[in-house]
A and B are shown apart, each in its own frame.
Chain A
């Protein structure tokens, strides 16, 4: 049985599911020690509603912890490079760091990315609505997929818009004469940080496309939940990373 978020009020409001009767109000967990109750005896991956989900979430959590260190290293390099300089012939300390004014389009991009996190979260929650999940689990259609798919498409569109916006920001910088290999270290960092984050988001969009396809291909509802859930956590993390990176580029030049 898959994992669900239990929301009793919703359950009570939906008197008629249209399939002949309302769902029971009091939940009766199996138990009593008889039969096939001991989940530990089942094969790995089928021990209870949350086993697989927890496993994959752990994996994503650890992978993202490593990814966080990747960005931490880049950010610390940013600060070190910012304070670097040398003494000229007259013993003056000179630095080649010139603050870069970030293109204003980044503000719009940031708003788009936050919005995409919202749509992603709505999509993720659809996969755990108890009634829909129970319907899917019982083989009565795919209401959760139907509810989540539009929100995932919306996230896909917003994510692509964000990447397009980043591209526009690069174009604007190029028009102002800041290339990746222009002598300013601040422009190196701008291109590098936005570029590396963009690659991460591109991976996120690929994962999103995979999850979207998976919703129609994967037969086990647990796997559909995992695909969307893990993509969503990755997506949110990239959103949070971007907010910090944007703050760094915009205010700590």
Chain B
């Protein structure tokens, strides 16, 4: 397939979205390595950059978070994969609005370039974190990078909101309006359910983020005081103009920020369900329940944002309410996990299975996703307790939690999707040996990087300190642990070079893929686009006479019987 600019073909746009995320993840990873190296050798000058100042460290934190969350974990699983396969999975030819899809890609690219430009303006990138809490973010004089850098951050995220908004409109219109005849709600692949829910979340929450950005911009440049508190003192000058409330920003931001986590991880959950069914050669037990639980996670995800704010001065009674909703979200998540485990370990109701699941690279990465989703998920209810959170909130425990459950689970599901759908992008399979090597090195590196962070966090290591030992603070006891984390992070990043090599090598020289190389049942693998009414479910596998039979959705049920 020829890669052409300004195309409106959904699959090429999907590839472009994924390339955008790939470029971003490379930059974001480099930034995180700089941070890791700085944490263990804070006084060693780095090549090219020289000695990192404390504010540079904060700028790295901000840009790493913003790049990864918006341009990798939001784009790749949702609009990237949806552009790639959503139309085919529901039996359509293209997205509902192909040109809108292209527009939203180019706006996302513009947003990325504007964000990266923040590195090159005077005083550099913003330092207020990906959450941009005021008053730090509201007053240009509050710190280096909070002037032009912060303005570029705001412009970039504003553009990104617009791009996601358009993409979500497109995905929703596609799912609701473009399904082929017979593609009923219970015949949708689980990925489509996930995209449906994440798109609804995107519509609801990115608009709120945009409103918050407009208010913050107005505070910075138009002299208002929505977020700047009275008597706010910066460098000996009172800059507070009225009774603005930083807490208002936190509410608006986390009303976006928490569902954002589900936007990043729900497509991975849908994909994992599909992959487990595909490679365990079985149906999805309780399909309706699994789909309903995805919806429940999405809906509950809209009412838990306050658990990010237990230590922000929010009313403690509100904290109790948010603790309850947050713990409630563990219920549908657990149902999903139990559903996956039963798919992997129990035989199908009707029969025995002969050989157990197969484990090609996409399946391995889906299992890796599961391991991080469970391990990161288990610390969720711990952090949902306001009492525990008040100790843990500003420590590395939280960093460990969200890197496990969102960053690593999200990344592993993206890898699973790329290995799985690579034949659709290039007509070739990715190299299986390199893929497995990549998986095992990555999972060792990822666990080695993020699991020990829990221990550092429990020992009290603060999240935003640029160095562990110094005149004011001393965490010399955990420096050894930190060295281990840094080595594991370098190891993890190095393992990704195998992936990069594999992608670019396999795209040109990989083994040509058969039609439907994974023997899947969902429609994106249909060898011919012309087929009639859908009358099969998404995951119809069975065993008869020790032989594996599967019924793709593009085959008619009536024709065979």
* Chain B nearest Cβ from A159, distance in angstroms: 22
* Chain A nearest Cβ from B221, distance in angstroms: 9
Identify which of B170, B203, B222, B231 contacts A181 (C-beta below 8 A): B222
Report yes or no: A80 in contact with B251, Cβ–Cβ below 8 A: yes
Report yes or no: B225 in contact with A185, Cβ–Cβ below 8 A: yes
Q: How far is the CA of A58 from the CA of B225 in the complex (A)?
A: 38
Report yes or no: A188 in contact with B224, Cβ–Cβ below 8 A: yes
Digitize A68-89: 1 where CB-to-B-CB distance is under 8 Å, 0 elsewhere: 1111111001001100111000
When distances are taken between beta carbons in the complex, the residues of chain B under 8 Å from A59 are 96-97, 100, 169-170, 173
When distances are taken between beta carbons in the complex, the residues of chain A under 8 Å from B207 are 66-70, 73
B280 interfacial contact with A, CB 8 Å: no
A196 interfacial contact with B, CB 8 Å: yes
B387 interfacial contact with A, CB 8 Å: no
When distances are taken between beta carbons in the complex, the residues of chain B under 8 Å from A65 are 203-204
Interface hits, B169-206 → A, CB 8 Å: 169-170, 172-173, 176-178, 180-181, 203-206
With known contacts A58-B172, A70-B208, A180-B224, A81–B244 Cβ distance under 8 A? yes
With known contacts A59-B170, A66-B206, A70-B210, A81–B92 Cβ distance under 8 A? no
The winner among A44, A81, A97 for most chain B CB atoms within 10 A is A81
* Chain A, residue nearest B91 (CB): A40
When distances are taken between beta carbons in the complex, the residues of chain B under 8 Å from A44 are 92-94, 178
Interface hits, B363-377 → A, CB 8 Å: none
B223 interfacial contact with A, CB 8 Å: yes
Q: How far is the CA of A74 from the CA of B212 in the complex (A)?
A: 8
* Chain B, residue nearest A192 (CB): B218
When distances are taken between beta carbons in the complex, the residues of chain A under 8 Å from B483 are none
B289 interfacial contact with A, CB 8 Å: no
When distances are taken between beta carbons in the complex, the residues of chain B under 8 Å from A86 are 229-231, 243
Interface hits, A79-135 → B, CB 8 Å: 80-81, 84-86, 95-97
A202 interfacial contact with B, CB 8 Å: no
With known contacts A40-B181, A77-B215, A188–B225 Cβ distance under 8 A? yes
A174 interfacial contact with B, CB 8 Å: no
* Chain B nearest Cβ from A155, distance in angstroms: 24
Residues of B within 8 A of A (CB): 92-94, 96-97, 100, 165-166, 168-170, 172-173, 176-178, 180-181, 203-208, 210-212, 214-215, 218, 222-226, 229-231, 241-245, 248, 251-252, 255, 532-533
Query: What are 5 A-B interface contacts by the 8 Å CB criterion?
Result: A55-B97, A62-B169, A66-B206, A80-B248, A86-B243
Apart from A55-B177, A69-B203, A73-B211: 18 A-B pairs, beta carbons within 8 A: A44-B94, A58-B96, A58-B173, A58-B177, A59-B100, A62-B169, A66-B165, A69-B204, A72-B208, A74-B211, A74-B215, A77-B226, A81-B244, A86-B229, A96-B242, A185-B225, A185-B244, A192-B218
